[in-house]
Structure 1
Amino acid sequence: MGVVNVTPDSFSDGGAWFEPSAAVAHGLELWAQGADILDVGGESTRPGADRPSVAEELGRVLPVVRELSAAGALVSIDTMRAEVAAAALEAGAAVVNDVSGGLADPAMARMVARASVPFIAMHWRGHSDHMQSHAHYDEVVGDVRAELSRRADALLGEGIAAERLVLDPGFGFAKLATHNWSLLRHLDRLLDLGFPLLVGTSRKAFLGRIGIAEGDPSRPPLERDVATAATSLYAAQAGVWGVRVHHVPSTLDAMRVGRAIEEAP
């Protein structure tokens, strides 16, 4: 899954693709590079980010979804709002990716169920402006597993078909670095829930600390693609359904290396 941020304040690319034409060109480039799905989002979810209005979000994503879909790409809409998701599906999107797992908008699950499209539900404990205050766990893997299980049950109860539900542990969302590493190490316990899993570690802050001495500044987001490729390969080998990345070629190269090793005599 290639990331197409149509935001002025993304942590990873700082609004480089904010203009619709730039976002479309970037999406087409990711698709040509081998992305299977283009994930278009108009709301930054970096820690501390403010929410755009519904009108702003619609204005950002709809032209991009429409053009990418018309070009033949498989598009997912990254939104927490049922109104935006519905409009994006009308514009050609085929998947809804909700980082709140349907919690931010009570109308989301019913809308997705009626549309009969795949729904990606992330582990979520609150909006970006306060989510890190909820980064407290008794045992992070067990807690996230239990919360995802309850969320899946609720979504199935709203009419979303089990075969269309994908879960996401929410790396970096209400998680400290140690939480993220534990979740990666124990992906098997999350896969045991029986649903496909999406992993999105791409350029997250915890990757920026690898190899950095305490007290020194973190590696900036654009220098975290090698670490992203490593974690994405690890997740793929664990059996996840998909990985969400900003830089497609490096992750695909890592996947090819892994496959070559596995297939060697």
Structure 2
Amino acid sequence: MGVLNVTPDSFSDGGRHLDASAAIAAGRKMFADGADLVDVGAESTRPGAAAIDPAEEQARLLPVVRALAGIGPVSADTRNAATMRAALAAGARVVNDVSGLAHDPDAARVVAEAGCPVVLMHMRGTPETMQARATYADVAAEVFAELAARLGAAEAAGIARRNIVADPGLGFAKTAEQNLVLLERLAAFHGLGVRLLVGASRKSFIGRFGGAASPADRLPGSLAAALVAAARGAHVLRVHDVAETVQALRIWRAAADPSSLDKLPGRS
């Protein structure tokens, strides 16, 4: 899953793709580089970010979704039911909600009626308040339980379990150390009975432990985190650097199973 932020203030690429034409070009490149899905978001949810009006969110998001939906599968990264509905009408196939469908009371109904896949991420509070709520006795156990509750609420709203993907929410109401614990214990989250998504790319904990202050310098650490997540069974990796992650995964798979080399592009 390629990350495409159509925002002025996202932590890593804010402002780079605010212009629709730049965002569309970036999304096209992600598909060409091997992305199976491009995740388009128009509201920053970095720590401390304030909410924006859904009308502004849609003005940024919808032209990009419409253009890219004709090229490959697109997901809409949004907490707002009205934006979900508009993005799905514009061609998005997946909803990715960092609040786990808890932010907007109409969100679960929109997803249920659409019958589309949805990513439920774990977060406490809002982007403005979440880092003050990163207190856990056992972070993996508590995140698991809170995600299980969101899955239960989604099913009660009519969303089929087969359409749900769970995301432990690295960096959202988590300290740097807690993010590492979640990666180390990721395999336990298969107990939720749904597919798992992990988004570690360029996040601050990689900068802290990898000695890279700028998000742009966190590619090596992001690749390491992606491979750890893949080794622990993550089904979807949400990344900024698509081509590099695809290459890393190919080598990891080939080393684990040399016969897989015959399945790589360009081999007869």
**Class of the TM-score when normalised by the shorter of the 2 chains:** over 0.9
Q: Deviations over 1:194-238 (max 9, x none)?
A: 1100000010000002243xxxxx421011111111111111121
Aligned to 2:69: 69
Shift of 1:124: 1.3
Cα separation, 2, equivalents of 1:125 and 1:152: 15
Q: Does 1:235 align with 2:236?
A: no
Deviation at 1:35, TM superposition (A): 0.3
Q: 1:251 aligns with which of 204, 222, 245?
A: 245
Deviation at 1:241, TM superposition (A): 1.3
Deviations 1:31-52 (A, max 9, x none): 1000000000000011111111
Question: Which one-letter code corresponds to 1:90 in the other structure?
Answer: A
Amino acid at match of 2:159: I
Q: Distance in 2 between matches of 1:113 and 1:148?
A: 18
Partner of 2:216: 222
1:7 aligns with 2:7: yes
Q: RMSD of the TM alignment (CA)?
A: 1.0
- For residue 200 of structure 1, what is the amino acid of its counterpart? G
Structure 1 unaligned runs (5+)?
213-217
Residue 215 of structure 1 corresponds to none
CA distance in 2, matches of 1:189, 1:128: 26
Equivalent position SS for 2:178: helix
Aligned with 2:75: secondary structure? strand
d(CA) in 1 for partners of 2:226, 2:190: 15
Following TM superposition, where does structure 1 have runs of at least 4 consecutive aligned residues deviating by more than 6 angstroms? none
User: SS where residue 76 of structure 1 aligns?
Assistant: strand
Contact 2:210 2:221 in 1 (8 A): no
Maintained 8 Å contact 2:40/2:75: yes
Partners of 2:74 and 2:249 in 1: CA distance: 22
The answer (yes or no) to whether the contact 2:85–2:110 under 8 Å persists in 1 is yes
Cα deviation for residue 135 of structure 1 reads 0.5
The percentage of counterpart residues that share the same residue type is 50
The answer on whether the counterparts of 2:50 and 2:127 sit within 8 Å (CA) in structure 1 is yes
Which ranges of structure 2 fall in alignment gaps of 5 or more residues? 260-268
2:96 aligns to what SS in structure 1?
strand
Alpha carbons 1:226, 1:250 under 8 Å: kept: no
Equivalent in the alignment of 1:188: 187
Secondary structure of the equivalent of 1:167?
Answer: strand
TM-score between the two structures when normalised by the length of structure 1:
0.96
2:162 counterpart residue number:
163
- 1:34 is aligned with what amino acid? G
Distance 1:7 1:199 in 2: 21
CA drift of 1:59 comes to 0.1
Separation in structure 2 between the aligned mates of residue 132 and residue 188 of structure 1, nearest angstrom: 25
TM-score normalised by structure 2 residue count: 0.95
CA distance in 2, matches of 1:119, 1:19: 27
